């Protein structure tokens, strides 16, 4: 589909945000985290207006480009011409976080096989692996209320997330947020890999071994916010190079189009 470039129609800051967000969608597709067209990554634009970028509903994630992303306001009204709609349920979840959680400028929500599996287990995420220990200090839970089209659910989503950056949506999936798209993506990677290891370990049929309590607490304290470099920064340029290599054989325009 031929979508005109937005590069000359937006600020340099917005264009960079569009490129990073489109790259995140391509990475979600590459890692197999997409649910056809039914999950979302969003980014809040700078300024007091509560404007967001989100995916054009109907495109596969490996088709999404910087120019095809849709800019909407807090009422989910499109702010520029686009042939694509926006998923209202997705907007409910993302706008809740963007509008009420300082620093949550990027939000990622996925329905991955392993994430949904752990979200449906009573005990939730276990302190099973080194990766899950780094994630657990930020993980919180939100009970399933059906398809998220009721804007009244926003208040409860925000309450359950609190000042943290990871929310397991019971019977639904995973949500991560961050000050940058890179950070939200990296946090989702850590969380998804933790869920995958847990499901695989439990499926192996052998007794599960958990680290000692003092090791769990020590590791969690090491990864409190502000104690490490910002997540995602080191890896991002390598991930973009991976996308550049993949796009040569995909048949789709590059993410930065």
What pLDDT, on a 0 to 100 scale, did the predictor assign at position 81?
86
In this prediction, residue 230 carries a pLDDT of 66
Q: Give the mean model confidence (pLDDT) for residues 224-251.
A: 79
Determine whether 64 is exposed, middle or buried from the number of CB atoms within 10 Å of its CB (0-12, 13-18, 19+).
buried
**CB-CB neighbours of 111 under 10 Å:** 17
What are the residue ranges spanned by the domains of the chain?
Answer: 11-250
What is the phi/psi pair of residue 52, to 5°?
A: -130, 155
| Band of residue 159 on the pLDDT scale cut at 50, 70, 90 | very high
Tens digit of pLDDT for each residue in 13-66? 999 999 999 999 999 999 999 999 999 999 999 888 889 999 999 999 999 999
Q: What is the pLDDT of residues 66-94, one digit of tens each?
A: 999 999 998 888 998 888 898 877 788 88
Q: What is the CATH number of domain 11-250?
A: 3.40.225.10
Instruction: Read off the pLDDT band of 95 (50, 70, 90).
Output: confident
* High-pLDDT (> 90) share of the chain, %: 66
Q: Is the pLDDT of residue 231 over 80?
A: no
Tell me the pairing of strands 106-110 and 40-44. Answer: antiparallel
Rounded-to-integer distance, Cα 47 and Cα 59, Å: 28
């Amino acid at each position: 589909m031929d979508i005109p470039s937005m590069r000359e129609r937006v600020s340099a800051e917005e264009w960079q945000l569009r490129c990073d967000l489109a790259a995140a969608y391509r990475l979600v597709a590459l890692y197999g985290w997409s649910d056809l067209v039914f999950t979302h990554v969003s980014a809040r634009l700078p300024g007091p207006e509560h404007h967001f970028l989100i995916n054009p509903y109907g495109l596969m994630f490996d088709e999404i480009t910087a120019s095809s992303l849709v800019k909407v306001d807090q009422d989910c009204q499109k702010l520029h011409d686009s042939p694509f709609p926006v998923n209202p349920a997705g907007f409910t979840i993302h706008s809740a976080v963007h509008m009420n959680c300082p620093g949550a400028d990027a939000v990622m929500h996925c329905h991955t096989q392993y994430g949904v599996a752990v979200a449906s287990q009573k005990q939730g995420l276990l302190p099973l692996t080194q990766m899950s220990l780094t994630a657990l200090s930020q993980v919180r839970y939100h009970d399933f209320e059906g398809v998220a089209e009721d804007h009244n659910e926003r208040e409860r989503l925000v309450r359950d997330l609190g000042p943290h950056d990871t929310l397991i949506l019971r019977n639904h999936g995973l949500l991560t947020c961050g000050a940058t798209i890179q950070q939200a993506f990296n946090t989702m990677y850590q969380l998804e890999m933790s869920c995958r290891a847990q499901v695989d370990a439990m499926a192996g049929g052998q007794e599960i071994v958990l680290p000692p309590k003092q090791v769990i607490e020590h590791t969690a304290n090491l990864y409190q916010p502000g104690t490490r470099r910002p997540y995602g920064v080191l890896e991002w340029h390598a991930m973009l190079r991976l996308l550049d290599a993949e796009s040569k054989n995909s048949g789709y325009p590059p993410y930065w189009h």
